[in-house]
Amino acid sequence: MAATIGFVEDDDVIRENYSEFLESLGYRVRAFADRPSAVQGFRESLPDLAVLDVGLGSERDGGFQLCLELRAFAPKLPIIFLTAFDAEADKISGLRLGADDYLSKGSSLDFLAVRIEALLRRYASLTEGGDGRSLVAGDLRIDRERSQAFWKDQLVDLPLTQLWMVAALARSPGNACSHADLMRAAKIVVEPNTIAAHIKSIRQRFRAVDPSFDAIRTERSLGYRWVV
């Protein structure tokens, strides 16, 4: 069955053009023009992946608010921001809120297609495949079958991209993972500062359950290291 993409964009022409492109790739598209209609539609029937604009009509940060709402009732839904707001601060905000990817509208259609395909494939491998065994590194436990991370037996709310990064770090405690290593693990192609933004968000999410969390160390010019 074809995957369903939830597409939220307030510009009628852009919404129609992207919807037609995604449908030409074989996806089913449910398009929304504003945050309230998107929330209602997603609650009625959750898509397989959501693509969100940041500015939605009169709501300058409507997409950010929508991401928060989606994460509340669909914690593992793959989310991509596709927006003209491409400042680094906006990108960091989107990733901190739990988005899996953040793309500029200047990105090519082919690149968007690749990112959607990669996220859907990654989500399927986490939810349908695997042997169900846990990855354990000190106080960390990752349940591959449920796609969940636990720190000292407390659930840590991580989007899929960040879950894969944590798993990559924890598989080799004490060894440094470069930005390239983490990109390969998460199956994304981004700039180093985007990886840094993800790591900052990951630390914050762990510190939300344990303020003393300090298992991810930054190694200058090398990357990051998981310390047990």
Residue 115 and residue 144 in one domain: no
Q: pLDDT band at 126, cuts 50/70/90?
A: low
- DSSP label at 58? T
Pairing of strands 79-83, 49-52: parallel
| Whether residue 109 sits in one domain with residue 24 | yes
The answer to whether 200 and 192 have CB atoms below 8 angstroms apart is: no
CA dist 193 and 197 (Å) reads 6
Number of domains the chain is built from: 2
pLDDT tens across 143-201, in order? 877 888 999 999 999 988 899 899 999 887 888 899 988 988 887 777 888 899 999 99
Instruction: Provide the whole-model pTM.
Output: 0.63
Q: Which domain holds residue 78?
A: 4-127
Strand-strand pairing, 101-104 and 134-137:
unpaired
Domain boundary among 112, 127, 142: 127
